Amino acid sequence: MPSTSVSKPPYRADHVGSLLRPQSVKDARKKFYEDHSIDAAGLKSIEDEAIRDAIKLQEDVGLLAVTDGEIRRSFWHYDFMGGLTGLDLEEREEGVQFHGVKLRPVYPTITGKLDFPDDHPMIEHFKFVAANTNVTPKISIPGPSCCHFRTAKADIHPKEYQEDVEVLFADLAKTYAKAVKVFYDAGCRYLQMDDIFFAYLCDPKHREAKKTEGLDPDWLIDRYAFMMHEAIKDRPDDMVIGMHMCRGNFVSTYAAEGAYDPAADAIFNKTGVDIYFMEYDSERAGGLEPLRLLPKGNKRVLPGFITTKTGELEDIEDLKRKFEAASQYADLDQLGIAPQCGFASTEEGNKVTADDQKRKLELVVKTAEAIWGGVDK
């Protein structure tokens, strides 16, 4: 468990959550899921060892919040979603299109009334991290918007959800509110929800796609903010909520582009979130101007100026200049640094090496030290 001397989040240096899977885990998952040559206990033992190593890596580079690297997952989102009551995952012939590559063909399907089960597997995932670190344990899960955005209308089967999407949104908010409570009761004080579809809805192509479904993308942004707000509004005062936004991350590719402007007000002023992890590693993310809508106070933005899509290491002086630019729109005291996304949003991982990953995490910490004087300042 974390030491009582460890400061509480938010921190000046952090990361989104996922880490590259070591070969031992990839081999074990193949043996379990495909070859059926090891049992669940054998797979868990190998995952446990890899997660202890991942925790040590994060602690050794100087991070004060650590995750399990999502090492037990195949996807950053579907594994969590598939554990919900009323939502199943189906494999089909064709996957979701990214830039030049397609995702594996897994599709969420809402089959019944949604709920969060008390025995959701990721409660135990969090407890394992908490039991194996001396700093703050964090878990990242997909935000409530993911269950709607990633589920095709034809795959929403309950009649009440088909007839009124607001009923679906209300049940998603209740489901996530229960998740927040169960994680809190398990000891979680730093929960991150990855609600990347705020950024997707800033992309003209994705906006047009939603219009063809009969959904106003600006209305959808507002309702997604409503779901997040309702999910977290009753959290205890000592629980911090983070939210990550990006434009897709699958083997170093992307699925969307466009500046945050259409969603910035909802993101900063309607969700109730404490910490914002915002992709800012390329021109696809647009300018820094949306940061002007961050309200004064304790909320914090961690611009992702450091990419996880390539191994090339950013220059710390260039990063300082970017923060100087960002400070023209938001108080430097309300900023921190994190990579633009996870290193392995799916088990395949990005096209970077374990050494690249370590150097990127070290750079996150060094940048925080250079600009603010430390990770916990």
Q: Peptide bond preceding 10: is omega within 30 degrees of 0, i.e. cis?
A: yes
Residue 101 has pLDDT above 80, yes or no: no
Does residue 158 fall inside a structural domain? Answer: yes
Q: What is the reported pLDDT for 98? A: 47
Each residue of 306-330: pLDDT tens digit?
999 999 999 999 999 999 999 999 9
Does residue 79 fall inside a structural domain? Answer: yes
Does residue 224 fall inside a structural domain? Answer: yes
How many domains in the chain?
A: 1
Does residue 27 fall inside a structural domain? Answer: no
Each residue of 126-148: pLDDT tens digit?
999 999 999 999 999 999 999 99
**Cα separations in angstroms, 115 against 44, 65, 75, 149, 155:** 26, 28, 20, 18, 17
- The chain-wide mean pLDDT, for the chain, equals 93
Q: How far apart are CA 300 and CA 243, in angstroms?
A: 11
What residue spans of 186-284 are helical by DSSP H?
Answer: 197-200, 204-212, 217-232, 261-269
Does residue 124 fall inside a structural domain? Answer: yes
Each residue of 168-204: pLDDT tens digit?
999 999 999 999 999 999 999 999 999 999 999 999 9
Does residue 78 fall inside a structural domain? Answer: yes
Q: How far apart are CA 134 and CA 138, in angstroms?
A: 12
Does residue 97 fall inside a structural domain? Answer: yes
Does residue 160 fall inside a structural domain? Answer: yes
Q: Which residue has the higher pLDDT, 249 or 351?
A: 351
Q: How far apart are CA 108 and CA 87, in angstroms?
A: 7
Q: What residues make up the domain containing 128?
A: 64-372
CATH (domain of 157): 3.20.20.210
Q: How far apart are CA 93 and CA 141, in angstroms?
A: 26
Number of Cβ within 10 Å of residue 355's Cβ equals 9
Q: How far apart are CA 138 and CA 239, in angstroms?
A: 11
Q: Do the Cβ atoms of 276 and 13 come closer than 8 Å?
A: no
Q: How far apart are CA 243 and CA 174, in angstroms?
A: 18
